[in-house]
Amino acid sequence: MSDGRKPKFKEPVQDVDLPQVKVEPESEAKAPLTAEQIYLKRQAEVAQQDNDTFSDYLRKKAARDEQETAQAEAAPQAAPVSERAPKRLNRRSLLTWAAGTAVVGEAVTLGYPILTGQNIPDQGARHAGATFTEPQRHPIDRELVNPQADVGGRRFGDWVLLVPTKMGGGTYAVNLNTGRALAWISYWNYGDYNPISHHLCAFPSADPAKGFEWINSTQGGKNSLIYGIPTHIETPDEGFNIYRVRYDGAQMEVMENVAETTGLGLGVHVNIDPKTAERYFVTDGQKDIAACFDRRTSRVIAALKYDWVPNVRQLSEAWQKGGVLKISKIYPDPATGKYDYRGTKGQKIEWEMVPMGELFVEEGTLPGDDVFSLCGADGTIWHPSGRWASTIVRLCGGQMILDAEKNFEPVTFLQFNKDAPSQYP
């Protein structure tokens, strides 16, 4: 599923005895930073600035609280109140206490019989101690605490929680009624060498514990290098696959790689039409492409490409000084019946614009082949009736309304920026 592409690894350095050399000044000896290192450095600086600002807020708040406390103590004392009832020990208070005293293991050992009235399963927390060291001989019970033990007398219900593992490269499902993991899947097994399991959406099922189907978009490329995780990979695999996956009540299996079928490699947000559940959108903010697919055939119903044409060619002002938002329909190659957007092809920036990371684009910290045309169109949502759809355009500060009954023709742009018109026809 990776078209034979493999990630490129950094050349290993052999361990050799090196002679003593002259220590050069830092300005001469330090190698230039890569684009990824510059981004991580800038991201850390922004995080530090945010932390300093928040710390300053906490200091001011503490001073204000102290002043209010002093004023309250100086005020006439109110009539004494009855003694506070002892605090009830429940799972939340127990684990909160455990987190504060760094004895979570002991808290679990103590708390399981308190909360459930049961002994600890032999294959559970006891096996972490030195007393129980015998080989594993019995099935593993993945339920440590009954999820129905303390939810205010209520249940979560017969729901299945489906969770993408991002850099883990897969997805797993948990039955919220029992607290047990149903199954999990890894896309590495299908020849995807950079499956960043980013977003998913499941189709309706009468009994999800017995089976359901979902669409899972995956990112790829250099998105795997922006978290500072140690790695020997220098050029990651291209990725950007869209998997249609089925859980049959026993295991998960990839039924189709929709990106391979259609030629559209999109890796961000997935949303299913709530009216019929027979079509879904996948929208990618690196490529600024939103595509609607037919659930049964994977046919591309419509594909829209968003491009920004700024009035000025200076990054710091390219979006602030206005411009034109161009929206165009794109079509597959008549000869092949496929689009030409597999892998990283068509991406404007080398990795995603992370949440609250819009300013990284304006300051030039986020590199790419076509940064000036970036819109940040990375999600398309539906009206509950299925009559309308809307693509969020982050860098333009608004969203485009699409007519779902007229092949998703643009209707109007809703603008959220201060002192701007509420909408553009």
Where are the chain's structural domains? 160-424
What pLDDT shows up at residue 246? 97
Q: How is 316-370 classified by DSSP, letter by letter?
A: GGTTTT-EEEEEEE----TTTS--SB-TTTT-SSSS---TT-HHHHHTT-S--S-
**For the chain, what percent of residues have pLDDT higher than 70?**
75
Of 124 and 381, more confident: 381
What pLDDT shows up at residue 3? 54
Could you tell me how far CA 148 lies from the centroid of its own chain? 28
What pLDDT shows up at residue 145? 56
- Token duo for residue 88: 């009830």
What pLDDT shows up at residue 70? 87
What pLDDT shows up at residue 100? 42
> Which of 316, 285, 353, 343 has its CA nearest to residue 39?
353
Could you tell me how far CA 6 lies from the centroid of its own chain? 24
Of 415 and 108, more confident: 415
Q: In angstroms, rounded to a whole number, what is the distance separating the alpha carbons of residues 350 and 20?
A: 40
What pLDDT shows up at residue 125? 43
Residue given tokens 């795997």 in the structure block: 224
pLDDT, one tens digit per residue, over 364-392 is 999 999 999 999 999 999 999 999 999 99
When pLDDT is averaged across residues 162-174 and rounded to a whole number, the result is: 94
Tell how strand 323-329 and strand 300-310 pair up: antiparallel
In terms of Cβ atoms closer than 10 Å to its own Cβ (0-12, 13-18, 19+), residue 42 is middle
> Which of 305, 354, 363 has its CA nearest to residue 331?
305
Does residue 72 have a pLDDT over 90? no
DSSP reduced 3-state for 199: strand
When pLDDT is averaged across residues 79-101 and rounded to a whole number, the result is: 47
Does residue 19 have a pLDDT over 60? no
What pLDDT shows up at residue 7? 67
Q: Cα Rg for the chain, rounded, in angstroms?
A: 27
Q: In angstroms, rounded to a whole number, what is the distance separating the alpha carbons of residues 145 and 124?
A: 10
pLDDT, one tens digit per residue, over 212-240 is 999 999 999 999 998 888 888 889 999 99
What pLDDT shows up at residue 104? 40
Q: Tell me, what amino acid is at 188?
A: W
Does residue 276 have a pLDDT over 60? yes
- Token duo for residue 236: 């990651």
Judged by average pLDDT, the poorest of 40-49, 189-198, 352-361, 378-387 is 40-49
Would you place residue 78 in the very low, low, confident or very high pLDDT band (cuts 50, 70, 90)? low
What pLDDT shows up at residue 127? 43
Does residue 103 have a pLDDT over 50? no
What pLDDT shows up at residue 45? 86
What pLDDT shows up at residue 108? 40
Cα–Cα distances in angstroms (integers) from residue 271 to residues 129, 172, 277, in the given order: 46, 19, 10
Close Cβ partners of 278 (under 8 Å, ≥ 6 residues apart): 294, 295, 296
DSSP reduced 3-state for 413: strand
What pLDDT shows up at residue 152? 67
**For the chain, what percent of residues have pLDDT higher than 90?**
53
What pLDDT shows up at residue 89? 47
What pLDDT shows up at residue 83? 52
Cα–Cα distances in angstroms (integers) from residue 101 to residues 95, 96, 98, 127, in the given order: 10, 9, 5, 22
CA atoms within 13 A on the CB side of 32: 2
Residues 271 and 201 sit within 8 Å (Cβ to Cβ): yes
Would you place residue 71 in the very low, low, confident or very high pLDDT band (cuts 50, 70, 90)? confident
Q: In angstroms, rounded to a whole number, what is the distance separating the alpha carbons of residues 82 and 76?
A: 18
What pLDDT shows up at residue 183? 94
Which of 9-13, 54-58, 146-150: highest mean pLDDT? 54-58
What phi and psi values does residue 221 have, to the nearest 5 degrees?
60, -145
What pLDDT shows up at residue 135? 64
The enclosing H or E element of 101 equals: helix 91-101
Q: CATH assignment of 160-424, given 1.25.40, 1.10.10, 3.30.1490, 2.130.10? A: 2.130.10
- Token duo for residue 71: 């004023």
Would you place residue 155 in the very low, low, confident or very high pLDDT band (cuts 50, 70, 90)? confident
Across-strand partners of 219?
196
Does residue 102 have a pLDDT over 50? no
Residues 176 and 161 sit within 8 Å (Cβ to Cβ): yes
Does residue 18 have a pLDDT over 60? no
Does residue 48 have a pLDDT over 70? yes
Residue 120: other Cβ atoms inside 10 A: 17
Arithmetic mean of pLDDT over the chain: 82
When pLDDT is averaged across residues 264-292 and rounded to a whole number, the result is: 96
Judged by average pLDDT, the poorest of 34-48, 180-194, 291-305 is 34-48
Of 51 and 335, more confident: 335
Residue 59: other Cβ atoms inside 10 A: 10
Residues 260 and 217 sit within 8 Å (Cβ to Cβ): no
DSSP reduced 3-state for 243: strand
What pLDDT shows up at residue 248? 94
Q: How is 145-190 classified by DSSP, letter by letter?
A: S-TTSSSTT----S-EEEEE-BTT-EEEEEETTTTEEEEEEEGGGG
Q: In angstroms, rounded to a whole number, what is the distance separating the alpha carbons of residues 221 and 351?
A: 7
When pLDDT is averaged across residues 184-205 and rounded to a whole number, the result is: 95
What pLDDT shows up at residue 128? 44
